[in-house]
Structure 1
Amino acid sequence: MYLRAIRLRGFKSFAKKTDLLLEPGVAVVIGPNGSGKSNLAEAVMWALGEQSPSSVRGASMQDVIFAGSDGRRAAGGAEVELTFDNSDGALPLPTPEISILRRVRRDGQSEYRINQAVCRLSDVVELMSAVGLGKELHSIIGQGRVESFLSSKPADRRAMVEEAAGLGRYK
């Protein structure tokens, strides 16, 4: 299983529809300061169910919606869709490709979808827990979280590593 594509629309600095296609293996995102690298990582976390606005550098979840700029109006909502290659069957759905979509509108309404079917956050979390991308998303370490990890209690660090490695289902 690997992340094959990321589609963003109205998410933070990605005002218009943006598609990123990825290949198997290591993906590296490079660019100058302010070009959206952190926003891209936060988009992945957000689509997978991140519930803390501060984890995506916001005061509320509506802060992920493009706020507007010179010559460009604010977006009415934000949407991130992740497409995973599941040809190896790592995710417990019998399809070679799985998409997860999260959408939020300015009025606060939001939805999740798995393969275009409306679902709950818990469905996304359960699905992704099968490959170690569980509720706490310890496999994605954002800016400032490394220090928090290193200063945490040994038992907490162990729990984070076990979840990131996908060991929770074997306990």
Structure 2
Amino acid sequence: MTTGDFVTDLPSLDDDLLTEGAPEAEFNPGISSRLPSKNVAAAALIRDGQGRVLLLEAVYKPTWVMPGGAVEDNEDPRLGCARELTEELGLEREPGRLLVVDWVPRHGVWRDQIQFVFDGGVLDQAAIDGLVLQESELRAARLVAPADLGSAPLTPSLTRRLQQAIEAQERGTTEYTTYGRPGRQATR
């Protein structure tokens, strides 16, 4: 049985871990600690009835962001997205279909990152009016028409990622992108 996109009659993650057996032993001691690690983030493409995109004005950076944020250690990205929506906006909702998986290269002090963008659905005016912004992180929530994304204070990579998410939502696809660009091979 499914509820939205979630299957409800499957074993729990803990059950799956138990059936996986004992954790694999390291044949080369310390090898797992030497593996690279990536940051993971999850966001939701949320729109209003007019198709405008919900963006957030954060207090901690000069550019706007999508609703969502960093996925915590050992947290499922989809559940991390739901947690962030609740924390940031007081919005209790399960993210829908995966729209974009985007690899973001190391830039400045930030490690490379995998960003997941889920379909956050459409909010009616009552839900928009009911958003409760997390004051320690957010100044404002804005609705921006897709045609106006290029003039909003967004990083170029987020503008590209948003455009890919909108197109994936409209086509019913899931896209893999590199820094918001489809089909691009990394050249580093």
**Bigger RCO (CA 8 Å, 6+ sep):** 2
Shorter-chain TM-score: which interval? under 0.3
TM-score (norm 2): 0.26
TM-score (norm 1): 0.28
Relative to total residues, which structure has the larger strand share, 1 or 2? 2
From the CA coordinates, give the structure whose radius of gyration is larger.
2
